Amino acid sequence: MPHTYETNGAEIYLRSFATIRAEANLARFTPEEEIVAVRMIHAAGMVGLEEHVEFTPDMALAARAALESGAPILCDAYMVSEGITRPRLPADNQVICTLRDPSVPDLAKEMQNTRSAAALELWRPHLDGAVVAIGNAPTALFHLLNMLEDPACPRPAAIIGCPVGFIGAAESKEALMAAPPVPAMIVRGRLGGSAITVAAVNALASRKE
Amino acid sequence: MPHTYETNGAEIYLRSFATIRAEANLARFTPEEEIVAVRMIHAAGMVGLEEHVEFTPDMALAARAALESGAPILCDAYMVSEGITRPRLPADNQVICTLRDPSVPDLAKEMQNTRSAAALELWRPHLDGAVVAIGNAPTALFHLLNMLEDPACPRPAAIIGCPVGFIGAAESKEALMAAPPVPAMIVRGRLGGSAITVAAVNALASRKE
């Protein structure tokens, strides 16, 4: 007997988002933030994730405005850049991941840092006004914060800081929110990752659910 | 003041896996399964995930043997195929995602199903002995189960069934484990997703941590 199941993609989205809004505790978010939090919960399959989501007051609007005016999206991993739904982007925005640039391994050795951190040095020409999406490496977020300590470093419009894991992830996100150099959002603690980060970008790119 | 943090990738992995083994409840897994569960917890940043991980008794060994003998890896989403670490693959295995094949949108309309499910029809020439990695769409896992109800459909060597979400994810994984057509593993319930799925593939591809 073949399995029967919901096969209508639009209906699946609709019922998923309705379930999330019925179960999750979204009251503290602004309407713009709520759209982002709902989509992150959806990607994680986890009601409760919202308890760990923090925005600076202006972040959701700043990121949306930047994307609408054509900002590039700078990603620390290909799982992030590949996940971004191109038809949702409001201005055919460039999606950039520099991790596989041939110069990165040598640069990482020279910097005595990870390839994920070294790859950010190649973001400099694109960084001004960009939306940053860090969904994998704590070292990338820490290195970005150190880059931005130089007042001559170009400023992104907003930072989605959602690295994941057990060593440095919580600490890098706390460091970002302790002194946000630009509008920012995080998932506090160990949780994070590419799917959640992609969901935030996709939500900020279009209000369409 | 620049932030100081652990910048040695090997050290980050080592300490991450040590933290997971200290905190997680891994006693019920075989040694082969434990390697997979630890890497999935790492990708999710979530101790406790292991409570939801289930393997059929032969899955971890069957999947590892298939990969070592050159099996292709069939992925339902580009976030999965992009995340697989190519240098970990034991036989330069092909990694295949058919989601963007130009025939998929029309096929989905004809099948009255999602593009994720329709894309699996293009797996048929690769399916015999393959390792399947479903990390996004419940409809893909349900459709695979229906394809495998036909005894003439080629059999994969193993299925990693980790679709995520609120509509059909839990149900599709329960259906897989209620009558596994081939060796299989799942994350029960709503949790799942590309990062967790990629972690399982990367762990089955190489014992190296």
Name the A residues in 47-76 with CB < 8 Å from any B CB: none
Name the B residues in 158-197 with CB < 8 Å from any A CB: 164-169, 171-172, 175, 189-195
Name the A residues in 92-151 with CB < 8 Å from any B CB: 111-115, 117, 138-139, 142, 145-146, 149
**Residue B28 token pair:** 């019920």
Using DSSP's 3-state secondary structure scheme, residue A10 falls into: helix
Q: Chain B contacts of A194, Cβ < 8 Å?
A: 79, 83, 194-195
SS3 string of B2-41?
CCCCCCCHHHHHHHHHHHHHHHCCCCCCCHHHHHHHHHHH
Cβ of A7 and B139 within 8 Å?
yes
- What is the Cα–Cα distance from B154 to B15, expressed in whole angstroms? 42
In whole numbers, what is the pLDDT of chain A averaged over residues? Answer: 97
pTM: 0.96
Q: What percent of chain B has pLDDT over 70?
A: 100
User: Model confidence over B41-91: pLDDT tens digits?
Assistant: 999 999 999 999 999 999 999 999 999 999 999 999 999 999 999 999 999
Q: Chain B contacts of A139, Cβ < 8 Å?
A: 5-7, 9, 12
Amino acid B1: pLDDT: 80
ipTM of this predicted complex? 0.95
User: Model confidence over B46-58: pLDDT tens digits?
Assistant: 999 999 999 999 9
User: Model confidence over A141-174: pLDDT tens digits?
Assistant: 999 999 999 999 999 999 999 999 999 999 999 9
Which residues of B are designated catalytic?
42
> Is B197 within 8 Å of B82 (Cβ atoms)?
no
R_g of chain B, CA atoms, integer Å: 17
> Is B146 within 8 Å of B117 (Cβ atoms)?
no
Tell how far CA A67 is from the center of its chain: 13
Q: Chain A contacts of B151, Cβ < 8 Å?
A: none
Walk along chain A (209 residues) and give the pLDDT tens digit of each residue: 899 999 999 999 999 999 999 999 999 999 999 999 999 999 999 999 999 999 999 999 999 999 999 999 999 999 999 999 999 999 999 999 999 999 999 999 999 999 999 999 999 999 999 999 999 999 999 999 999 999 999 999 999 999 999 999 999 999 999 999 999 999 999 999 999 999 999 999 999 88
Residue A67, φ and ψ in degrees, nearest 5: -65, -40
**Residue A154 token pair:** 């170009």
